[in-house]
Chain A
Amino acid sequence: MSPMATTALPPAATPPELIRNFCIIAHIDHGKSTLADRMLQITGVVEERAMRAQYLDRMDIERERGITIKSQAVRMPWAAEGTTYCLNMIDTPGHVDFTYEVSRSLAACEGAVLLVDAAQGIEAQTLANLYLAMENDLTIIPVLNKIDLPAAQPEKYAAELAGLIGCDPEDVLRVSGKTGEGVEELLDQIVGQLPAPEGDADKPARAMIFDSVYDTYRGVVTYVRVIDGQLSPREKIAMMSTKATHELLEIGVISPEPVPSKGLGVGEVGYLITGVKDVRQSRVGDTVTNAAKPAGDALGGYRDPKPMVFSGLYPIDGSDYPILRDALDRLKLNDAALVYEPETSAALGFGFRVGFLGMLHLEIVRERLEREFNLDLISTLPNVVYEVALDDGRTHTVTNPSEFPEGKIAEITEPVVRATLLAPSEFVGAIMELCQSRRGSLRGMDYLSEDRVEMRYTLPLAEIVFDFFDALKSRTRGYASLDYEPDGEQTADLVKVDILLQGDKVDAFSSIVHRDKAYAYGTLMATKLKELIPRQQFEVPIQAAIGARVIARENIRAIRKDVLAKCYGGDISRKRKLLEKQKEGKKRMKMVGSVEVPQEAFIAALSQDSGSEKKK
């Protein structure tokens, strides 16, 4: 067992041969954060006393959900066979919506620890990230975690991992992040197996941004991995994609708090502070160089974040609109993928159409708005982006169903994803049925072990956005896992279904769906609304229509009785109070034409418990 290193190597003066950059690829709650905590402790970076459980996850929401959204990099000293090394642990986001961020984190490393729960085996997201890491030529160290659990099956899952990466089951390490067992051995293996970073110290500086975080006190903190050359304090740096230049106010490493340094050299990982206030000025994937001596070529792989899912966000109390606007402006500082523009809905009032990377991103943003800014929000059904080409040659990009163009449509395209599903083999039939019903096409299928199957599908993103995850979980009793990444576009026979109350279109309920599903959607919404909208003085027809053609219809019968039969001396106070309460409730009514719709009805009708991929 290796002793703890007594002195850490100084930044900017550490030869690349003594540096090891690695990340941990793991599924949510397979124990990545606990293992990271243990490494910080064992390497002496964090004292036991100061140990906050799951030190690396900073935001409350992350802590509560046990997931990591923003990655960070921690520098740890480790002595192996008498030499002190510098280990940089780069934390990767563990979710499907953040594939691009994951790919940049991977690109900053030479190796990856593939961490799998010894009681559960590998999950789809881990598998997808593993493939990503293998494509990037990373050295993989397979590790089974939670070997202290009674339900652990290390032999079975070691064989599975060995099969996936082509190694011997004997080489799969076994650790317990909880007890610390095997962690020192893992640190030794990181030193022994991972290649040292390579780069040219004499070339003009090139560093890749793999994360960018807004801090209230410091402004944007940018995390970089230096490839060539050197970055030093006070020099002028340039962002190669935006051409923006900034003065480097501070440069340093995280260990585990930021410590300013004399610079960062080849292979090193650390942070930069330039005083910019918006993460858009310091984009993940971009290359940082010296403004006076710029590099000729940027590092490859930069991509603009592209919102995939849109939803309307509206304050329940219309007077909160300015608060919502300010809140979005604030969140945007720390979220380069968040886009939004004001939008008005006849039914919901003033709000914003907001673009997200995916469903979890949507949920997190919404939750932060509600929690940190004390807002009550209604969100419309999420939708993807459609390209609609008309016969006259014009094309429209539709991010909101209510913008769906009138007129003769030549072609509609929708985004599709490449989905990976992992499940016990008994659920293959159920999954195929589900994917079939969601317009999926099977690309391939492999057995990971005797009883676990990997299935690969092409699916329209719209189908995943609509309730897919919950449907998958319920059909597989929670055993299936899902990962997906964008995979281009396809044309499809799509239509817009409108919902009409008493003949008036309710914009918030319009949806773009496949023609074969229009009837199901229309019926679903009409039935839901019939239950949710209280009876009015007159009969209220609820219709679902494609254009002028009604495809489903329900009726809310006129109310016939709304009277307290008994109203004597002792009933009067009670009755008046009830009336006063109704008067308050009236404020939460929205008028659709002449129909009074309680806000709760909108919320309930628009709610779908999909996309909660936090749920296992």
Chain B
Amino acid sequence: MEDVPSVLPDGEPAPRDGALPSSALTHLGERPFGAYVHVPFCSVRCGYCDFNTYTLTELGMPGAGVSSYADAALAEVALAADVLGPARPPIDTVFVGGGTPTMLRSRDLVRIVDGLRDAFGLAEGVEITTEANPDSVTPDSLRELADGGFTRVSLGMQSAVPHVLRTLERTHDPANVGRVVEAVRAAGMQVSVDLIYGTPGESLGDWRTSLEAAVAMEPDHISAYALVVEDGTKLAAQVRRGLVTMPDDDDEADKYELADEMLSTAGFGWYEVSNWATSPTTRCRHNEGYWADGDWWGIGPGAHSHVGGVRWWNVKHPNAFAGRVNAGDSPAAGRELLTEEQRYDERVLLGVRLVEGLPLDLVRPDGRRAVAGLVADGLLDGPSAVRDARAVLTRRGRLLADTVVRRLLGY
């Protein structure tokens, strides 16, 4: 459930054959190249979730179901290879997200990876991640994934506190998460757990409990996100009706600070605003590609892609998606060709989120002039700015990253 919000942006129409302007392809392969695969199925929809996903009962049309999904995905893989042409680079990272990718049989997930390998080739040391629901994997299914090339599993843990999980409508048994972490490791893969803070009714103590539980499982990587109430979700309706009260920003700030403190103490280092890893080798390289202005092809309904300054997004519904790709057409619903100005804004807003920070020589003069003030306000790290000429967020700065971005962009 990482990648695909339910609302698509406004953009211009994409060409039917998915062709990209030649300018987008000039620097192909100079940056890391990734593949994102969106699996739009869940057994139930959680109350806070606004991702592009469907329960089985919501579907039920031929060609779009769980059993035929892999074929539709592979059809888009073929289209991608075609559009990028002979100069297409081997794939550095694959990320299978959802939805709940493990609603598919491991065999189908492996089949998609095989298809990517055949069409693009996989780079040396490729990272292949899948998201998983703790209740939808077994030691056997995990072993099958590892044998098929998967290197990493990201588990949707969210919380260790039953009443919080209930509010989120997560159905998994918290005790299960520890066993799954063990099983992933036993299968020889890295493991990450996702946590959510700021759920209505969650106390600072609850959050501490969840963090302690996550740390105790000794994963390689932890992501922690503040809950965002998205329009159109069940939770949004409950907030609107006053059935639940959202915590205020200060509460979320307290929780972020607690997370950063506890995770640091436990040996995790932040490398992006919401991500911590035990070492540079256990970071999620695929996600790093997003923040480093990398290229990737997003496969599946509602998936977003970026290649050389062109961003596009696929039609959302699995049926519509299957119809397009099975007819040999691009599933793209719309796209935007970024201007230099927009690419610059994106580089700043993404780059500054990373622990390496934003190289100041990429920042325009008006933005560089803002750096001293940001250091003085305690939002940027002074030594990094002076010694390394990089804009690196302090802890306070991470919580105010959007403020920092606006000031670096000169307004």
Residues of A within 8 A of B (CB): 537-538, 557, 559-577, 579-580, 582-583, 586
Contacts and interface: CB of A to CB of B under 8 A. Distances in A.
A580 B402 CA distance: 12
A560 B396 CA distance: 8
Contact of B273 (A565, A569, A573): A565
A567 B352 CA distance: 12
B290 A563 contact: no
A345 B384 CA distance: 42
Nearest to A574: B9
Given A573-B304, A573-B311, A559 B298 contact: no
A574 B304 CA distance: 11
The 4 closest A-B pairs by CB, nearest first: A560-B253, A563-B401, A570-B304, A561-B249
B256 A574 contact: no
A560 B249 contact: yes
Contacts of B298: 569-570
Given A563-B399, A579-B405, A572 B290 contact: yes
Interface in B181-240: 225-226, 228
A563 B273 contact: yes
A537 to B, nearest CB: 6
A573 B349 CA distance: 11
A535 to B, nearest CB: 8
14 contacts: A537-B379, A559-B249, A560-B249, A560-B399, A562-B400, A563-B399, A563-B401, A567-B274, A569-B305, A569-B306, A573-B11, A574-B7, A576-B349, A582-B406
Given A561-B399, A565-B226, A575-B349, A570 B4 contact: yes
Contacts of B261: none
A597 to B, nearest CB: 16
Contacts of A583: 406, 409, 411
Nearest to B411: A586
Nearest to B257: A560
Given A570-B298, A572-B304, A579-B405, 5 more contacts: A559-B249, A559-B403, A565-B273, A566-B274, A572-B350
Given A563-B398, A570-B3, A579 B273 contact: no
Contacts of A580: 345
Contacts of A577: 9
Nearest to A586: B411
A561 B287 contact: no
Given A559-B249, A561-B256, A579-B409, A569 B401 contact: no
B199 to A, nearest CB: 13
Q: Max chain A CB contacts within 10 Å: which of B273, B311, B402?
A: B402
Nearest to B248: A561
Nearest to A578: B402
B304 A565 contact: no
Contacts of A538: 377
B11 to A, nearest CB: 8
Interface string B288-322: 00110000101000111110000101000000000
Contacts of B305: 569
A208 to B, nearest CB: 61
B252 interface: yes
Contacts of A568: 2-3, 287, 290
Interface of B: 2-5, 7, 9, 11, 36, 225-226, 228, 249-250, 252-253, 256, 273-274, 287, 290-291, 296, 298, 302-306, 311, 313, 336, 342, 345-346, 349-350, 353, 377, 379, 396, 398-403, 405-406, 409, 411
B94 to A, nearest CB: 13
Nearest to B406: A582
B12 to A, nearest CB: 12
Given A570-B303, A572-B306, A537 B400 contact: yes
Contacts of B228: 565-566
A566 B225 contact: yes
Contacts of B346: 572, 576
Q: Is the interface of B mostly helix, strand, loop or mixed?
A: mixed
Contacts of A586: 406, 411
B312 to A, nearest CB: 9
A571 B11 CA distance: 14
A566 B50 CA distance: 13
A215 B345 CA distance: 54
A196 to B, nearest CB: 71
A572 B274 CA distance: 15
Given A573-B311, A576-B345, A567 B273 contact: yes
Contacts of A566: 2, 225, 228, 274
Nearest to B6: A570
A569 B225 contact: no
B9 A573 contact: yes
Contacts of A569: 3, 36, 290, 296, 298, 304-306
A359 B111 CA distance: 76
A575 B347 CA distance: 12
B249 A571 contact: no
A569 B294 CA distance: 10
B296 A576 contact: no
A570 B402 contact: no
Nearest to A570: B304
A537 B400 CA distance: 9
Contacts of A562: 249, 399-403
Contacts of A572: 290, 304, 306, 311, 346, 350
B5 A574 contact: yes
A415 B11 CA distance: 60
A534 B268 CA distance: 34
A28 B252 CA distance: 55
A132 to B, nearest CB: 54
A78 B231 CA distance: 69
B402 A564 contact: yes
Contacts of B377: 537-538
Nearest to B227: A565
A74 B298 CA distance: 77
B399 to A, nearest CB: 5
A561 B395 CA distance: 11
Contacts of A575: 349
Nearest to B290: A569
A428 B326 CA distance: 80
Contacts of B7: 574
A580 B273 CA distance: 21
B303 to A, nearest CB: 7
A564 B273 CA distance: 9
A254 B226 CA distance: 73
A559 B409 CA distance: 20
